[in-house]
């Protein structure tokens, strides 16, 4: 018999919906496990037979905090199942979520082949009345095209909607269960209603109590989650605009960091100083080695492409990309500045994943940095707590160290690439004394510069007084460098 869990206010759980999730990747698996955890029956289908087999055996294919536990629990509860054959996953579905990859092709255009194949499977196997919901990030107009396919194949018996996903890797479970908003784009009120039935436990903010404890911690009372119900094109554009805005924000602070390195000033303090302004906000103002990952790079290019193929110049997006490209070069140029030549230099990379709490290497800045260092003659080693194998193109060029101590031994520079919390706890004095040249490039501004210098390091952070001695006097005691017009 199915267990029943209570919510904080003792409200009855919303009725369970039969859901199919097509694609067992980051978005598909997190969506599926979370929807099962709030009481729905979820059948996951993926074309990758090896993946479904290992999912059935309880193995999650990537690192995502909290996901393993949810998957194990919901497989055990019988609410979550995995399939390779769409004919097994779709026949009972009231709502079918398409969560497959949308990479950019070599010409920069979005490759929709997986979305079209998944849509084909839904249209072939889902029952009448099912709502096909695209959650993959896809160019504006994709949903309209999917709808035309649905009308052709099934008349109006399968509705189509868009429901973009905003989760970030590393915090995906929490992002899904406690989102800032839910965006739905649909042609009919019925389709919106079907999606609202799926999301009600999340939108109400009343999750089963055991989930509140394990996933949301002591986040406290939450308000109802805002829902943006809008047209499909608008929903598609919201997704791209959100990622683009975040990428522009990071590029902005990275540009300020570059200015700070020339004129003086600490960008982390600047970010704090501007982020406290509620109109600006504190998030996504961490200067560093530039943005990467499976989404920002591809989505910014896709949005730029959507604009430029229509004769628009998309200047902001282009600039954000340009700044980001320069920022990826920050490590190499600072190493060159400090070490003069990189030929034969032993460089240790602390971290490879594109951000902490993930093992994802897709478009990770580390890959570009490592390749460029190797090209310039450096001997590159790397350690990342979550990465146990390098992509094929780097396997012969970069050595994976078993731990930080081994990485530091004899190194002529250490470069902090990924802000893993455990790196912040390192014994810097021990690290510096193991190195041949105690040079620390902090690509994420993770360390306290004074502590690093006290430990014996030559410390270089991003936008932190790079060419200037640290400020010792309060700003008001100093002469302004530039006369301020009155
Ligand atoms: P992913 O590459 O991790 O997973 C995609 C999965 O889909 C793979 O397991 C693949 O085998 C499967 N697949 C491919 N074709 C299929 C088909 N025809 N039928 C069934 N399964 C199929 O992708 P992801 O990171 O989950 O991203 C999926 C989409 O969501 C992309 O459009 C991405 O831009 C978007 N998105 C991703 C994130 C993220 O953090 N990764 C966040 C928000 C949105
Ligand atoms: C991002 C968005 O945050 C999600 O909302 C979105 O759903 C997702 O893309 C997507 O569409 O796939 P993700 O790429 O997982 O999520 O990770 P982020 O935390 O956004 O980081 C992206 C990149 O920006 C990383 O390289 C990170 O190091 C960098 N970053 C982030 C900074 O350099 N500074 C910051 O202040 C924040």
| Catalytic one of 34, 99, 130, 295 | 295
27 Cβ below 6 A of ligand 1: yes
Do 234 and 186 contact (CB within 8 A), yes or no?
no
Q: Which atom of ligand 2 is nearest to the CA of 137?
A: 11
Give the HSE-up count for residue 131: Cα atoms under 13 Å, Cβ half-sphere. Answer: 25
Ligand 2 atom 7: the closest Cα is on which residue?
A: 166
Average pLDDT rounded to a whole number, residues 91-98: 98
Q: What is the pLDDT of residue 484?
A: 46
State how far the Cα of 191 lies from the Cα of 232, in Å rounded to an integer: 11
Q: State whether the Cα torsion 164-170-173-177 is positive or negative.
A: negative
Average pLDDT rounded to a whole number, residues 452-469: 88
Element (H, E) at 348: strand 346-350
Q: Kindly indicate the confidence band of residue 223, based on its pLDDT and cuts at 50, 70 and 90.
A: confident
**Ligand 2 pocket mutation pick from 134, 168, 180, 363 by most atoms within 8 angstroms of CB:** 168
Q: Is the pLDDT of residue 394 over 60?
A: yes
Average pLDDT rounded to a whole number, residues 214-243: 85
Look up residue 483 and give its DSSP letter.
P
Q: What is the pLDDT of residue 4?
A: 45
Q: What is the number of the ligand closest to the CA of 367?
A: 2
Q: What is the number of the ligand closest to the CA of 175?
A: 2
State how far the Cα of 191 lies from the Cα of 248, in Å rounded to an integer: 33
Q: Which atom of ligand 1 is nearest to the CA of 27?
A: 26
Query: Among residues of the chain, what percentage have pLDDT more than 70?
Result: 91
Find the residues whose C-beta lies inside 6 A of ligand 2: 137, 165-169, 243, 246, 250, 284-286, 288, 291-293, 295-296, 354-355
Q: What is the pLDDT of residue 211?
A: 75
Query: Among residues of the chain, what percentage have pLDDT more than 90?
Result: 87
Burial of 9 (0-12, 13-18, 19+ CB in 10 A): exposed
Provide the whole-model pTM.
0.94
Do 54 and 236 contact (CB within 8 A), yes or no?
no
6-20, 116-130, 391-405: lowest mean pLDDT where?
Answer: 6-20
- Residue 63 alpha carbon to ligand 1 centre in Å: 15
Please give the structure tokens belonging to residue 309. Answer: 């193929």
State how far the Cα of 53 lies from the Cα of 51, in Å rounded to an integer: 5
Q: Which atom of ligand 1 is nearest to the CA of 117?
A: 18
Q: Is the pLDDT of residue 482 over 90?
A: no
- Number of Cβ within 10 Å of residue 215's Cβ equals 20
pLDDT in tens, 105-163: 888 799 999 999 999 999 999 999 999 999 999 999 999 999 999 999 999 999 999 99
Q: Kindly indicate the confidence band of residue 207, based on its pLDDT and cuts at 50, 70 and 90.
A: confident
Q: Please confirm, yes or no, whether 295 is among the known catalytic residues.
A: yes
- Residue 249 alpha carbon to ligand 1 centre in Å: 25
- Residue 444 alpha carbon to ligand 2 centre in Å: 14
Do 214 and 286 contact (CB within 8 A), yes or no?
no
274-278, 351-355, 440-444, 481-485: lowest mean pLDDT where?
Answer: 481-485
- Residue 465 alpha carbon to ligand 1 centre in Å: 41
């Amino acid at each position: 018999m199915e267990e029943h869990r209570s919510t904080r206010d003792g409200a009855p759980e919303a009725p369970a919906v039969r859901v199919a999730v097509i694609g067992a990747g980051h978005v598909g698996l997190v969506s599926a496990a979370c929807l099962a955890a709030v009481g729905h029956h979820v059948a996951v289908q993926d074309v990758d037979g090896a993946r479904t087999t290992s999912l059935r055996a309880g193995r999650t294919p990537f690192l995502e905090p909290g996901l393993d536990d949810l998957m194990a629990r919901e497989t055990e509860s019988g609410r979550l199942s995995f399939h390779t054959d769409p004919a097994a996953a779709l026949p009972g579905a009231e709502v079918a979520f398409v969560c497959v990859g949308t990479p950019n092709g070599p010409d920069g255009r979005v490759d929709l082949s997986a979305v079209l194949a998944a849509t084909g499977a839904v249209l072939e196997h889902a029952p009448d009345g099912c709502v096909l919901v695209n959650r993959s990030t896809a160019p504006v107009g994709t949903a309209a095209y999917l709808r035309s396919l649905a009308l052709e194949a099934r008349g109006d018996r399968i509705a189509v909607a868009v429901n973009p996903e905003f989760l970030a890797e590393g915090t995906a479970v929490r992002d899904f269960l406690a989102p800032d908003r839910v965006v739905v784009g649909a042609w009919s009120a019925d389709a919106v209603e079907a999606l609202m039935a799926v999301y009600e436990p999340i939108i109400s903010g009343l999750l089963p109590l055991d989930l509140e404890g394990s996933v949301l911690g002591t986040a406290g009372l939450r308000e109802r989650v805002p829902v943006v119900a809008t047209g499909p094109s608008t929903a598609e554009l919201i997704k791209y605009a959100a990622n683009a805005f975040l990428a522009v924000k990071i590029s902005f602070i990275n540009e300020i960091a570059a200015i700070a390195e020339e004129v003086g000033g600490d960008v982390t303090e600047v970010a704090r100083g501007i982020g406290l302004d509620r109109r600006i906000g504190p998030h996504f103002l961490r200067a560093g080695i530039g943005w990467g990952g499976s989404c920002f790079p591809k989505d910014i290019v896709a949005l730029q492409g959507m604009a430029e193929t229509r004769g628009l110049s998309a200047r902001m997006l282009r600039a954000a990309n340009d700044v980001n490209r320069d920022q990826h070069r920050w490590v190499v140029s600072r190493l060159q500045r400090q070490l003069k030549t990189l030929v034969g230099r032993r460089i240790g990379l602390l971290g490879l994943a594109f951000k902490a709490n993930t093992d994802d290497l897709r478009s990770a800045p580390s890959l570009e940095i490592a390749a460029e260092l190797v090209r310039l003659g450096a001997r590159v080693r790397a350690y990342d707590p979550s990465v146990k194998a390098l992509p094929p193109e780097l396997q012969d060029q970069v050595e994976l160290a078993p731990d930080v101590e081994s990485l530091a031994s004899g190194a002529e520079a250490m470069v902090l690439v990924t802000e893993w919390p455990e790196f912040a706890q390192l014994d810097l004095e021990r690290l510096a004394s193991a190195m041949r040249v105690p040079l620390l490039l902090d690509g994420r501004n993770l360390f306290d510069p004074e502590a690093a210098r006290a430990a014996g390091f030559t410390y270089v952070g991003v936008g932190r007084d790079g060419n200037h001695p640290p400020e010792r006097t309060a700003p008001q005691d100093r002469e302004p460098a530039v006369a301020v017009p009155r």
